[in-house]
Each structure stands twice: as C-alpha cells, then as structure tokens.
Amino acid sequence: MSGILIRRLGVMLLTLAINWVFGQTLVYEPVSYSNVQITDPFWKSRLDKIASATIPACVEQTEIKTPRIRNFEVAAGTRPGKFEGIFYDDSDVFKALEAIAYSLKNNPNPELEKKADEWIDKIAAAQLPDGYINTYYTLTGLDKRWTDMSMHEDYNGGHLIEAAVAYYQTTGKRKLLDVSIRFANHFDSLFGPGKRNWVTGHQELELALVKLYKVTDDKRYLDLADWLLSQRGQKLAVGYTWTEWRDTAYAQDVMPVKKQREITGHAVRAMYLYTGAADVAALTGDVEYMEAMKAVWEDVVYRNLYITGGIGSSGRNEGFSVDYDLPNMQAYCETCASVGMVFWNQRMNMLTGESQYIDVLERSLYNGAQSGLSLSGDRFFYGNPLASSGSHYRREWFGTACCPANIARLTASVGDYIYGVSDDGLFVNLFIGSSTMVTLQKKEVQINQETSYLKDGKSTLTLNPKSKLKFTLHIRIPGWASGKPVPGDLYSFNRSSSPPTTILVNGKQIQYVNKNGYALISREWKKGDQVEVRFPMEVMEIVANEKVLQDKDRIALQRGPLVYCVEGADNNNRAWNFIVPENALYTVSNNPQLPEGFPVIRFDAPVIEMDNQGQSVQTVTKTITAIPYFLWNNRGQNEMQVWLPRKIKGIRINPEN
C-alpha cells in the first residue's frame, strides 16, 4: 500500500474515531428557557422590566421614532417612500422580535403578541418571491445585492432566523419561521460548494443556521454553516469595501478558523463566529474547531478580558488591540460583546463539561452585560467603561441600535443558561431562583431552586422525581468561591485561600467530589430531597497581572459574582480622591435604595479634599461606599472607578475626560 493511501486511511480512521467520540455531541443539553419559570427576585424584576419598559422602548423606536418598520412597508409596496436609515437596520427589528418572543414566555401579553404578528405580516410582505429579504437593497437597487460582503445582508438574515426560531418556540406560529426558511433556501441556492464563494462581513448567519437546522432537521443548513466557517481565511474576500480592515484581522478573516489561535478584530463579530464554530463542532465532531476555539478562548481570558467580563478595549475597531491593553476610562466593552461572551462560553461549557466557561459566562452576564441596561429598563449603554469622570451616561437609543434589543433578548432568555441534562444527571450552572421539569432516564424530575445567592451566597434545590431515581447532580462551584477570579493569571485575589463551599443534603453536610469545577453528588433521589449550597461571600480584593499597566498599584473589589465600583453618588460626588489602605476593613450591608436591597461595601479610607477656594488640600478619613458595577449611572452623571488606587499617585481631584 502506498504512503499516500496509508495516510488517507489514517485520516479516515481518525475522523471516524473523532466522530464516534464527539458524535455523542455535547456533555449535556441545556434546558430551554421555554421550560424554565424564573422566580428569582432579582431576575424576575429584570424580566418584568424588560416586558414593561425595555420592549416598549424598542417598539417605539423601531416603529415610531425611526423608519425601521416603515422600510418594510415601503419594500412591500404598501406605503410610498424610499429607504431611510442605515443598511443594517433590519437586524434591529428581528432582534426586537426575538426579545419579544422570550418575553411572551415570561410575561404573556396578548397586545404585544398582536403587535409582533403585525410586524411579521409586514416582514413577510416585503420578502421577494425568490426568498430574498433586505429592505436596503430592495429599495436602493436589487442589481447590487450579494455584491458586497460587508453590507450585512447575511447578518440581517441571521437575526431573522434567530427571531423566527424563538417566536416559533414560544408561540408555535410558523409564519416568520417560513420566511426565514425561504431566505435560507435562497442563500443556499447561491452559495456553497460548487457555487459562489462568500465570506460573511459580520458573522451571525453561521450560528443562526445551526438553530434552523435543529428546528427543521434539514441538514443542508448545518452543512451551509460549516461551509461558511470554512470560507474564512481563504483569500476569497472579493467585494469587500473594507479590505484594509480585513488585512488587520478586523473580521477574523486572515487565516482559516481551524488555524486561528489569537483573538483579533471586532469583538462582536468574533463572539458570533466562535459561537457558530462551537455549534458546528458539537454536531459534526470536528475537533479542529475545538482546538482553535480553546486556544482563542485562552487568548481572550488570559490576556484580554476585563474584570467585569467585558471584552474589546479599543473603540477604533470596536474590539481588540494588543495583549494586556486594558484601559479603564477608554474601555470600549460593547454591551453586545458581553452578550456574545455569554453565548460562546455556554457552548464551550456544553462541549467540555468544564465549569471555567460558566465562570466567565457568569462574570459577563452579571457585570459586563447587565451594565448595559438601566434600572428603569429604557436607558442603555453601548460601551461600558470601568472608569468615568462623569461624562459617560446612558442613552435612550443609538444610531446603530444593536445593543438595546440585544441586552433585552439575553436577559429575557436567561432561563437558557441555568440547567442542563446529560445521560447520567442534572447540571446546575447558575444559581437563579427558578423551577423546571426535566426528563432523566425517561422519568420526569421536577426541580425547584430558591436562592439568595447575590445577598448571602445560599441556594437550595428541591428535587421531586416522580419515583425514586438514581442520577448524578452536578453543582457548579464558581471559580471565585475557590480562590480564582478567572482562569489563567490575568487576575488574582489578594489572598490565596477562601472558606470552602458547603453542601448539605437534607440538612446534613456532605463530602463531595469536585470534577471539572462541579460538585458531583450521586445517589438515589426521592421526592422532596433538598440540596443546600452555601458559598463564601467575603469581600475579595483583586489585583491585575503586572503586565496590565493601567491597573498597577490598584485593586478591584468583588463579592460573590459581582464586581463593585465606587460612584460619586454615594461619596460626595467624588470617586477619584481617595486611596484604599492596606488591610482595609470591609463591611457589607443592604442598601434599601438599591433594587432588592442590594448589598453595598463600605470601608474607611484617606480622602483628599480641596477647600472652597481651591487654594489648599487636606487629608481626612471618610467612609467610602462601593456598589455593584452594573448599577452605576442610574442616579445621574457622576464619577466612577472600578480599579481603586492604593498609592497617592493614583488620586485625581479633578479627573480628566
């Protein structure tokens, strides 16, 4: 047998082995939001606010204050006019519909569902007979469609598909799903092996096609997603209008996805790309995708992650610059990028069963993402800096309005990230008060979770199998509860150990096996069994790697999963005029002015004050109050810092913008 044939046979056998192993696909399957009832006081209030304020704001902006819905009416010929707005504005309509779909599950609302159906009718009417749908090209010249890969036709289509799948799963209505299928079939008729090449300018369609495959069981959508991934890095980008960005890896198109090892370019594009790659890897067993994603993930988390879970330090490219470049006041940290971190890290966790990915997901979810939504629900951050002189504030909308509907759809679908089911048991990833019914070994098990996780670190699970059932309960032990803020050495706690997590079963403390960051409890479970988890909730000081020059001689504060900041609203309108002393003593108390009486952290510190004439300064000791970072800027524009100075040189009496 020739050497070439031997090598081919070896590759074939390896592929078969890989597909056999990974053909078991995921370590667990997530329990869908549609099967989870959220009872958690904090998250229930967020979901209610999404329903009562955020979605109405999105509807008003989409339908009345901006021309997004009008564009569909004009494209359908039911209204005179021309295209108005930006060429990717269709995507905001689809994201709003997706958020509406999730919200209808949490808060049924016949009037909102009627409004969504009206929008869907207008979208369907604007679709061309061949399945193409894009109001910009329909109204400005169909002869130019599919000629410029940077014009978001496929990105818009991806969000159409995601909205359609969500709306179908919530309501059972197929109209938007059928629109999305026709669009996907149209795209498939033009692009793919033996057809035209195409490199998505803004990744999104890849992950959406996998969702469509799961709903329809039509494998060509999975194949098309895989093909789109394979197009990147092949020098096929004829037709880009942003070639100069491509050459700097702006859209992760310098090398094939399977060979990528470093994070580059636009942060949101990257998150959607790697989420799609993880989805494809889970269904095809392609270990090359996994190898690439693991390496890129480590590059993000070990060298390019903010302590808030935000990513993308540079506003110039809305993304990454160089390793360890993590400025605070200039941090970009787009809300959509933190949303993407939640998507990607969930997929990585499902593929590997390693809790470190949920550690990062939780950090991004509670801090980097939720910061993007105000307590009132109708004001938003596009970028989420870690310091402010008072110039940063939330807006009611943006010209590029991707973030409002994006944070709305993530928050409304938080039930997607709590539980998972495997062949041998149940995974508990997030400690959010909720209930669900799962099927284990063909038997139903009711799960109720009651938690005061954010206040005192406690969570209680009540398991109610219909009959006695032996299975393994996998309870995630967060990295922050085990002495490590995030994987790698980018950040560390100022002390090396913390009290252990305690687990009690039916009131009796147990010893548990810790595997991949999960406490494993294997036993025969009966109706009414309770598992109580108690996490240590000390105030932790965090220090950054010395390579992060912007955080030198500074500390950040964390309690539980929440990163804290000092805001002027609590500290005489100043947040830059003090230093944190060594061995500071921290106290924790609930603040009735914050939602659910959120705990605040207080400590005494030397404060530099200037007299009224600005002629002299004095040092006095005052009590400094720190609040959860995601809550800042809900009481007007004022100063804020996450990374607090330890030395006098870090003080700024009048911080510059």
Residue 472 to residue 349: CA distance in whole angstroms: 18
**Cα separation of 9 and 2, whole Å?**
11
- Among candidates 594, 595, 557, 539, which has minimal Cα distance to 43? 595
- For residue 393 the two structure tokens come to 């504030």
Rounded Cα gap, residues 475 and 122, in angstroms: 46
> Within 13 Å and on the Cβ side, how many CA atoms surround 275?
26
| Beta bridge partners of residue 30, listed in sequence order | 420
Q: Are 490 and 545 in contact (CB under 8 A)?
A: yes
> Six-digit token pair at 362?
């939780």
Give which of 106, 108, 102 is closest to 38, Cα–Cα: 106
Concerning whether 318 is annotated as a catalytic residue, the answer is yes
**Options 63, 162, 204, 318, the catalytic residue:** 318
Distance in angstroms (rounded) separating the CA atoms of residues 93 and 630:
26
> Please, which residues bridge with residue 199 across strands?
none
Residue 299: C-alpha distances to residues 50, 195, 270, 292 (Å): 34, 35, 12, 11
If DSSP codes are grouped into helix, strand and coil, which group holds residue 558?
strand
Structure tokens at 489: 């050495």
> How far apart, in whole angstroms, are the C-alpha atoms of residue 295 and residue 533?
33
The answer to whether the CB of 478 falls within 8 A of the CB of 450 is: no
Q: Give φ, ψ of 431 to 5 degrees.
A: -105, 80
Task: Please count the other Cβ atoms lying within 10 Å of the Cβ belonging to residue 352.
Answer: 16
- 402 assigned to active site: yes
Beta-bridge partners for 446: 437, 464
Q: Are 72 and 397 within 8 A, CB to CB? A: no
Of 267, 280, 185, 190, the closest CA to residue 229 belongs to: 280
Residues 428/474, Cβ–Cβ less than 8 Å: yes
- Separation CA 388–CA 638 (nearest Å): 7
Give the tokens for residue 549.
Answer: 């020059």
Q: Which of 58, 333, 336, 402 is catalytic?
A: 402
Strand partners, 471: 523
- What is the rounded (10 degree) CA torsion for 334, 336, 340, 343? 140
Task: Give the whole-angstrom CA distance, residue 284 versus residue 428.
Answer: 26
Taking the mean position of all CA atoms in its chain, how far away is CA 288? 24
3-state secondary structure of 267: helix
Rounded CA-CA distance 249/261 in Å is 12
Amino acid letter, residue 356: Q
Residue 45's DSSP bridge partners are none
Dump the DSSP string for 325-344.
---STT----HHHHHHHHHH
d(CA 472, CA 434): 20
Place of tokens 């996450």: 642
Q: How many whole angstroms separate alpha carbon 152 and alpha carbon 249?
A: 18
Q: Return the closest-CA partner of residue 83 out of 66, 70, 64, 65.
A: 70
Catalytic positions, please?
A: 318, 402
